[in-house]
Structure 1
Amino acid sequence: MHGPSAPRWEFNLSSTPSPSTSTAPSSPGYALWHLVRYMLGLGTWGFGGPVALVGYMYRDLVEQRHWISESDYKEGLALAQLMPGPLAAQLAIYLGYVHYRILGATLVGLAFVLPSFCMVVALGAAYAAFGGIGWMQSVFYGVGASVIGIIALSAYKLTTKNIGRDRLLWVIFLVSATVTVLTQSEVVWLFLGAGVLVWFWRAPPAWVRHGGVRGMAAPLWAFFTLETLDWHRLAQVGTYFAYAGSFVFGSGLAIVPFLYSGVVKEYGWLTDRQFVDAVAVAMITPGPVVITTGFIGYLVSGFWGAVVAALATFLPCYLFTVIPAPYFKKYGKRPAIIAFVDGVTAAAIGAITGAVAVIGQRSITDGVTALLAVATAAVLWKFKKLPEPVVVLAAALAGLLLYPLAHPA
């Protein structure tokens, strides 16, 4: 899973063609299978949801391996924030596109999602067979708190790396973080407005300059059988999750309230308890949070329900990434685009920082979980080469031991 040399979160945009030249990628410093293998690993051990996952990609691919350049990463993050769908999956798809175009985007996207999909299908089968998973609450007690520490550290690194001393970006960052905390959601219009604001401030179009305006804001075999399928229900599942994947902006967490209104309230496919368990499964398994749609699909229509729900959710985000990607690549070096991306990036990092507080409200419930979160951040700060999966595993074991003590029956 560790390719050649190892810097952090960066796509080699420095080795990609200039905006005005051919769209064929120049020779990268890694093979496609290296990136696919990395994404398979990240999808297998990448706990923490979208905020942590985009942080892992930055650290591993930009800072450590130097496979991706800073500018490519920022372009990918901006595109992922602007397009509907799960943030981390879209960023992974874009990073695959950077040097290996459609083939890279496709293989990387599949590699990133497949491990967590297999896990939630297995958990869905166990859940359906045994009527619930009692240990899930104990594990999430520890893992959820530990993940807050991981996310907080990632948000700190992103902030110091990308915001710097730019006062305008700091204002955008603080506004975005505040709005995220208050609304408990990510507002796409805020990202767009931030991009336009920085664009007009740093590289205003001619009509703005001439107008004197500056700074405008704007049973295993049975899983696969097709004989007993409810095709009408399966079509409903596909249609609904395709809709969810096409119109929900922001991180994977943004889709949770949207799914609740449809899956529980509108269709009545799951009970409140089942839906909460589905979200818990997504949080205690690695990979994108949106993979909870696979678990929900399994509970609704078995294995093929999981397949249809996952495909319907991720196909729109794949298309919304690879279709505009060539234009981001071609025009991404222009001053106006750089300014726009900087503004969107500042708003995105603000939203990520705000999400730490939002998620923390749900995961930090007592002194034990607060201590786990702080200890996670401190350990990872002190031992920078310590793999996060080791920390998450330790937190899961701590949760199994401490939850019964903190919450006696």
Structure 2
Amino acid sequence: MSSEKYTLKNLILYFLKLGTWGFGGPVALVGYMHRDLVENKKWITEEDYKEGLALAQLAPGPLAAQLAIYIGYVHHRILGATLAGIAFVIPSFLMVLGIGYAYTLLGGLPWMQAIFYGVGASVIGIITLSSYKLTLKSIGKDYLLWAIFIMLAVTTFVTEEENIVLILAAGILVWFVKAPPNFAKAPTLFTLPILVQAAPAISQSTKLYQIAWFFTKAGAFVFGSGLAIVPFLYGGVVKEYQWLNEQQFVDAVAVAMITPGPVVITVGFIGYLVAGVPGACVAALATFLPCYLFTILPAPYFKKYGKHPAIKAAVDGVTAAAIGAIAGAVLVLGKRTLTDIPSVVIMLCTVVILFKFKKIQEPLIIAAAACIGVILKTILI
């Protein structure tokens, strides 16, 4: 591990900025962290980043938030993990609180669909380019890793869900191929805590208790990126508890996509609509606390055994699978978002601009795409 080149204050400021300006969802956010912290600032080594990405993919909860927590842990342990996670989440949480207030005050956000039309297409362009760069950097020319990447990308696109079994299997496969185990001497490779879903007798007497229990399950038992949690939320929020109607839920997802930071922050917006500020706070805390615990608890084992050849091989396999799943998620999102020629053009223009003009910041492109979306939806269409 490289010597520390930054202070805890530096790291907190970075994640505050990323949480404020980091558009594009989990795929783009993990790409930003690699670009900024590994390639440009060189605060985090490639090995530490890959370990963090593998752990974030193996554990339940939002991918980008877990990676941020792990990066905070690398040099500053529990305090760094805690403050990095809070700094990353709090800007977007405050934003969705403000949007939630406006939403309830105005009786809905009909203009949001027009904004989302342009922003959604631009976001697909951002995450496509981020996924492409992350794939080339992490997989290189290893044919086995490329085969794993393609398999996970295809299965994720076809099934439209992450397969944690395949991701684990990929790690075991690369471990057996590249560093065959000597079972008499090999350390225990996968020492991650195993989740056992229990149903404690939580009081359902108030809505806040219901919110706390439901969103704890969402954070503890849903694997993958923030996008993977959307179907789970729909089943509970709309179908089971009937807290929101269909349109309100769609608006909640749109809020998550047009705000920076983790997509899972939509839980704050939903919590606000259900029970005001207390509901938003309870929903956000209940969702993010499990992912925090399932990152810092196994982190020492990753740091201790991460350089072992068997662990390194397994991490390479899991990383390739994780990036394949991310690429598959990009395709799924693209299929749902790019529904006509103008949206495809916005996406392609975003990719070209970011590829050709590297100094242009993503928020500027997002703002321009939002304006274009409003024009197309309200004037031309």
Asked if these proteins are the same fold (TM beyond 0.5), I'd say: yes
Tell me the residue number matched to 1:14. Answer: 2
The answer to whether structure 1 residue 395 and structure 2 residue 369 are counterparts is yes
* Identity level (%): 66
Structure 1 residue 14: deviation in Å? 2.5
Structure 1 residue 232: deviation in Å? 0.9
* Match runs of 1:107-118 below 5 Å: 107-118=83-94
Cα distance between partner residues in 2 of 1:370 and 1:406: 16
In the TM superposition, what whole-angstrom CA distance separates every residue of 1:262-298 from its partner, at most 9, and x where no partner exists? Answer: 1111111111111111001001111101000000000
Tell me the residue number matched to 2:32. Answer: 56
Give 2:67's aligned amino acid: L
Task: Give the total of aligned pairs.
Answer: 363
SS of structure 2 residue aligned to 1:14: coil
Tell me the residue number matched to 1:260. Answer: 234
* Match runs of 1:349-388 below 5 Å: 349-388=323-362
* Match runs of 1:162-311 below 5 Å: 162-207=138-183, 232-311=206-285
In the TM superposition, what whole-angstrom CA distance separates every residue of 1:120-171 from its partner, at most 9, and x where no partner exists? Answer: 1111111111111121111111111111111111111111111111111011
Cα distance between partner residues in 2 of 1:234 and 1:153: 40
Tell me the residue number matched to 1:89. Answer: 65
Structure 1 residue 208: deviation in Å? 10
Structure 1 residue 405: deviation in Å? 3.9
Cα distance between partner residues in 2 of 1:356 and 1:100: 33
The answer to whether structure 1 residue 100 and structure 2 residue 84 are counterparts is no
Tell me the residue number matched to 1:8. Answer: none
SS of structure 2 residue aligned to 1:206: coil
Give 2:172's aligned amino acid: V
Structure 1 residue 312: deviation in Å? 0.2
Cα distance between partner residues in 2 of 1:186 and 1:35: 30
Structure 1 residue 361: deviation in Å? 1.4
The answer to whether structure 1 residue 126 and structure 2 residue 126 are counterparts is no
Cα distance between partner residues in 1 of 2:60 and 2:323: 17
Give 2:278's aligned amino acid: W
CA RMSD of aligned residues (A): 1.4
Structure 1 residue 403: deviation in Å? 2.0
Structure 1 residue 207: deviation in Å? 4.3
Tell me the residue number matched to 1:6. Answer: none
Structure 1 residue 404: deviation in Å? 2.2
Q: Choose between structure 1 and 2 for higher RCO, CA contacts under 8 A separated by at least 6 residues.
A: 2
Cα distance between partner residues in 2 of 1:403 and 1:41: 31
In the TM superposition, what whole-angstrom CA distance separates every residue of 1:283-328 from its partner, at most 9, and x where no partner exists? Answer: 1111101000000000110000000000000000000001110110
Cα distance between partner residues in 2 of 1:316 and 1:206: 34
Question: Tell me, which stretches of 5 or more residues in structure 2 are unaligned?
Answer: 186-203
Give 1:92's aligned amino acid: A
Give 2:122's aligned amino acid: S
SS of structure 1 residue aligned to 2:108: coil
Cα distance between partner residues in 1 of 2:168 and 2:76: 28
Give the alignment partner of residue 46 of structure 1, picking from 19, 22, 39: 22
Tell me the residue number matched to 2:198. Answer: none
SS of structure 1 residue aligned to 2:359: coil
Cα distance between partner residues in 2 of 1:247 and 1:173: 24
Tell me the residue number matched to 2:194. Answer: none
Shift of the 330–321 alpha-carbon distance from structure 1 to 2, 3 Å rule, reads: same
SS of structure 2 residue aligned to 1:341: helix
In the TM superposition, what whole-angstrom CA distance separates every residue of 1:149-200 from its partner, at most 9, and x where no partner exists? Answer: 1111111111111111111101100000001101111111111010000001
Cα distance between partner residues in 1 of 2:380 and 2:348: 18
Give 2:46's aligned amino acid: E
SS of structure 2 residue aligned to 1:125: helix
Cα distance between partner residues in 2 of 1:207 and 1:334: 14
Cα distance between partner residues in 1 of 2:312 and 2:2: 15
Structure 1 residue 406: deviation in Å? 5.0
SS of structure 2 residue aligned to 1:68: coil
